Structure 1
Amino acid sequence: MKRYKIDEFITDFFQKNMFQICIGALLLFSVLMRIYLAPQTISGDYNVTLLSWINEYKSLSFWGGLERTIGNYYVPYNIFLDIVARIPGEPWLWIAITSCAAEYIGAYYLYKLLMLAAGSNDSKTQKQAVIVSVSMLFLPVAIMNGALWKQCDAIYTAFILAGLYYYFSDRTRRALILLAIGFTFKLQIIFIIPFYIIMYFVKKNYSVVQFVWIPVMYVVAGIPCVMAQRGIRETYSVYLRQNSGYNEMTWLSNSLYRLGFTSYDVFGIPAIILAISIFAFALLYVFEHRDNVTNKKALMLAGWSILTCYLFLPAMHERYDYAGVIIMTAVTIMFNRKMIPAVIAINLCSMLVYNYYLFDFDIIDGVPFVVMSVVYLAAYFALSIDIINKLKCSE
């Protein structure tokens, strides 16, 4: 068949720019998926809680809304919802746009993190890091969390990823400031703190004084509500009230406590002690092998820190492994492909829990959570053993 000059131009252009075109197409497809899902308001968290809070803000003045304790978020997200209540458009639109924008910011910093961990700037490494980072936008938890569920886990995750990037870039003050800002959006950012504590002793590359940024940012973020006369105690006790309201060992999470440890009164405190003990053992082991800790292994430890909190702390919601799933999946695909089956298992378990909440999907009546918890724990222990073995080696 005869080919024309236009055909040669198209094929030559594609051949020269194939990578950029394909990545651009994948980014476009990821956006289109979110555009399609965003109008779907099937989430109870949106319809029952977020929407009712926004309607309450709408019935008040801007400062009147900040004066009242509406919902259980801290001040920055309260201000965001107060603004959403007053601008044109459906509330779901602005909530989804904000969370999805955070997903792409997180993907950008994830790319930069992977490049730092790789320790190479060659073209092949850059392409691999781009592919892995973009592919994280297609993980089920990433697609459903912000666009479909209207949750904001991507926001604090973006702060985690940006903070880790600056930490590995030896700009530790900026890393801790970003960690502190993220803390004002979501308490769950503390899941990454065990990693920073371990690195404090192992790498000795920042001062414990820099943790002061966390309370400083927390106090500063609350000032608008104090100015609105909400009251100091009422403003700054949000996270304490959050914790006091969660008196179940697990809230749909695939944790250890699905295996019969259901009484919060009995197991709540021991669970916290268990989690702290695991990190104490981790600190001892990593410190003993501190000369073998590379950026790759440290990044694995960051993801492991979040997953450990999710699995062993009490009162965990189903979404709280979000940042850990993304970090561990990315670092596994990029640097540790033999463990891909483990991260696939974790992603599947998280996806099934999302579907259970959003669509009332059940696998086998009565047993799915136990099965998923066992599978999730098995995958977690496989990843943990792999990290232990890697820390024994100098490479």
Structure 2
Amino acid sequence: MKFEGIATYIMVSVLLYALFIFLMPQSSYHLDMLLWQKWTVHTFEYGLGNAYGSGTDYLPLYHYILYLFGKIQGSTAKIAFNIHWLKAITLVFHFISAWFVILFIRHKEDTLHKSIIYALFYLANIAILYNSIIWGQVDAILTCFVFTSCYFAFQKRIILCLVFFILALNFKLQAIIFLPLIALMVFPPMIQNFSLNRLLLWIGIPVGLQLLILLPFIVQGEVSSVWKVVANSVDHFPVVSMNAFNFWDLVLSGDLMRMPDSTTFIGISYKNWGLILFFTASFFALLPIFKKGIHSLRKKVNFKVGNQQFMLTAALIPLLFFFFNTQMHERYSHPAMIFLVVYALISMNWGIALLGCAAYFLNLEAVMHYLQLEDYSGFWIDRHFIATLFLGLILWLYVLLYRDAFRKNVVDN
């Protein structure tokens, strides 16, 4: 990769970053900003290892960022006054993700400059930026770690894949939904390239990183507090929906934010129905890659997954998680967007990414009302319509996934 191309990306990134900072509103989702401020002040006053004394429900890695931000500000007053600048840190991870988008879409016949131009569809995507710049949330950081881990899994660079997956898990437990996909991608090359030395590295480096992340909390005797956050991640909001416009909007009526997901249908709770649907749908999303892995191990041939198939599968997993499970927030489909965009850039099928980004943007705006439109009662902002968009998106992804898998089987036979 030529230095000129990397320099071009850095220059483009600096210019876009400056533009985004200039356009970035100080206002954000108020409750989230209050929490960021409370947690930052606490770590500033009592140290990183005592972060969980603030009552936080976030995993350790974000507290490193909050601790660093607090140290940079230097006082509790400046933390409170400048808390919206946390969005500038989140934006950095957005640009890191975009670099790996470029690496994914770059072909031998393409120049890096051309790939950078294509990547603007991700970099300047308002649906994706809404989460970071307008809402003030941090799903872009989770996406960065997950996407980077997936990139290295696709490249069969197992250690780097595991390192970034550990980072993702320590940022948000939500990353665990990608574990089956990553396992399917790295297990065949692990078996085919197995040695005791490699096994020690595959285990030792992730474990060492995990211990390093937990070290401040180990020193302060707060590891149990970290585990409590992990354990309480489930059923933190035991209702049908936390403003995710999904499957439940299509089958239930009423205020889903006040409807307990312990409510039963034919003896099974809504929560468990959601899990059943999610695991079943995920099985069929992962099945084509699973079959390829089995084939490569049985025939002792090179394990290879097409980039389009990989992107379709990786986009489906967070969408299915968001669409079928109860207790979902409106933001939880965010990690799917980067995979949709990369699929569009590879296949030139722009419709799939436009549909996904539109559904995600509308879900966020229907909740936050940042644009302050005169009328939020139109069909286009209705939760049932948006849920239908997500349903159509998921069905379209399955059609593309199995159409491509069927064509590949025909060619192989």
Q: Same fold (TM over 0.5)?
A: yes
| Residue matched to 2:351 | 341
Q: What letter is aligned with 1:347?
A: C
| Residue matched to 1:388 | 402
Tell me how many residue pairs correspond in the alignment.
366
Which runs of no fewer than 5 residues in structure 2 stay unpaired?
263-268, 296-303
2:182 corresponds, among 177, 185, 196, to 196
1:76 corresponds, among 23, 42, 61, to 61
Deviations 1:47-76 (A, max 9, x none): 332223334444x33257436143211122
For residues 10-159 of structure 1, what are the structure 2 equivalents within 5 Å? 27=13, 30-58=16-44, 60-62=45-47, 65-66=50-51, 68-88=53-73, 90-92=81-83, 94-115=85-106, 120-123=107-110, 126-159=112-145
Give how far 1:32 is off.
Answer: 3.7
Distance 1:313 1:297 in 2: 24
Q: Which segment drifts farther, 327-336 or 48-57?
A: 48-57
Note closer, same or farther for the CA distance 1:67–1:385 as it changes in structure 2 (3 Å cut): closer
Give how far 1:180 is off.
Answer: 1.0
| Residue matched to 1:3 | none
2:221 corresponds, among 213, 219, 229, to 229
Does structure 1 retain, via aligned residues, the 8 Å contact 2:242–2:328? yes
2:362 corresponds, among 352, 371, 375, to 352
Give how far 1:194 is off.
Answer: 2.9
Aligned Cα root-mean-square deviation (Å): 3.2
Q: Which segment drifts farther, 273-282 or 285-294?
A: 285-294
Which runs of no fewer than 5 residues in structure 1 stay unpaired?
1-18
| Residue matched to 1:14 | none
**TM-score relative to the length of structure 2:** 0.78
| Residue matched to 2:274 | 271
Q: What letter is aligned with 1:238?
A: V
| Residue matched to 2:332 | 320
Give how far 1:36 is off.
Answer: 2.6
Secondary structure of 2:234's partner?
helix
Note closer, same or farther for the CA distance 1:274–1:137 as it changes in structure 2 (3 Å cut): same
Give how far 1:103 is off.
Answer: 0.5
Does structure 1 retain, via aligned residues, the 8 Å contact 2:285–2:398? no
Secondary structure of 1:80's partner?
helix
Does structure 1 retain, via aligned residues, the 8 Å contact 2:104–2:342? no
Deviations 1:230-273 (A, max 9, x none): 3x322222122122312122212232122234541121012112
Q: What letter is aligned with 1:86?
A: K
- 1:300 maps to 2:312: yes
Secondary structure of 2:335's partner?
helix
For residues 173-188 of structure 1, what are the structure 2 equivalents within 5 Å? 173-188=159-174
2:376 corresponds, among 363, 369, 392, to 363
Deviations 1:293-313 (A, max 9, x none): 423322322222222222222
Distance 1:29 1:351 in 2: 24
Q: Which segment drifts farther, 278-287 or 350-359?
A: 278-287
Does structure 2 retain, via aligned residues, the 8 Å contact 1:250–1:317? yes
Give how far 1:287 is off.
Answer: 3.8
